[in-house]
């Protein structure tokens, strides 16, 4: 990690990307900080019968109704158990707030913009449509989430249905 830091410092003059690191399933993702309104622990998510699959339900965030999107479902992973609360990334789009529910939220990472690499072509298309690129960290890959795509496709897909 130390080497990592030095590396970052050296390049501090360079344009940096800041990510909130989150885990969805086993994969480490980075959500661009400027797109995240806040991080909160979702409480008492109301299940909405007949809602599209990826909608985990609705929740109350300080008097505003937030549509919770289950990131695992969006990523095509096994859905979350009811007992797993996870964490949520608040994303504002238009007048609405969405809560993207992830398994856990880690620290904020800064990576030089130049190090963002394209998503390998052989990766699953659905997955690729929601990932802007990949940063190679020391131990693993950080997939950069296209937050709008994760949230937006939910709405668009539903419209088409």
Nearer CB in complex with other proteins: 60/104 = 60
Sheet of strand 141-145: strand arrangement: 104-112, 16-24, 27-32, 141-145, 131-136
The minimum distance between CB 111 and other proteins, in angstroms, equals 31
CA dist 150 and 64 (Å) reads 21
Nearer to other proteins, 46 or 114 (CB): 46
| Interacting residues with other proteins (CB under 8 A) | 44, 46-52, 54-55, 57-60, 62-63, 65, 67, 96, 98, 154-155, 158-159, 161
Closest separation in Å from C-beta 154 to other proteins = 5
**Residue 45 or 142: which CB sits closer to other proteins?**
45
Q: Please report how close the Cβ of residue 127 comes to other proteins at its closest, in angstroms.
A: 20
* Cα separation, 65 vs 59, whole angstroms: 6
Answer left, alpha or beta for residue 59, where phi above 0 means left and psi between -120 and 50 means alpha: beta
Nearer Cβ to other proteins (28/59): 59
Give 40-51 as a DSSP string.
E---SPBP-TT-
SS3 19: strand
Closest distance to other proteins from the beta carbon of 79 (Å): 16
């Amino acid at each position: 990690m130390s080497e990592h830091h030095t590396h970052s410092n050296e390049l501090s003059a360079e344009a940096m990307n800041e990510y909130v690191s989150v885990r969805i399933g086993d994969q480490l993702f980075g959500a661009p900080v400027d797109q995240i309104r806040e991080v909160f622990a979702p409480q008492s998510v109301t299940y909405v019968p007949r809602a599209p699959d990826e909608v985990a339900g609705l929740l109350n965030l300080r008097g505003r109704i937030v549509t919770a999107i289950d990131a695992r479902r969006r990523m095509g992973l096994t859905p979350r158990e009811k007992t797993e609360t996870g964490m949520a990334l608040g994303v504002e789009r238009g007048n609405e707030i969405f809560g993207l529910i992830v398994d856990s939220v880690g620290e904020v990472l800064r990576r030089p913009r130049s190090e963002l690499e394209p998503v390998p072509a052989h990766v699953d298309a659905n997955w690729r449509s929601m990932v802007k690129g990949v940063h190679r960290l020391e131990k693993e890959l950080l997939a950069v989430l296209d937050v709008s795509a994760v949230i937006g496709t939910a709405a668009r897909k539903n419209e088409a249905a």
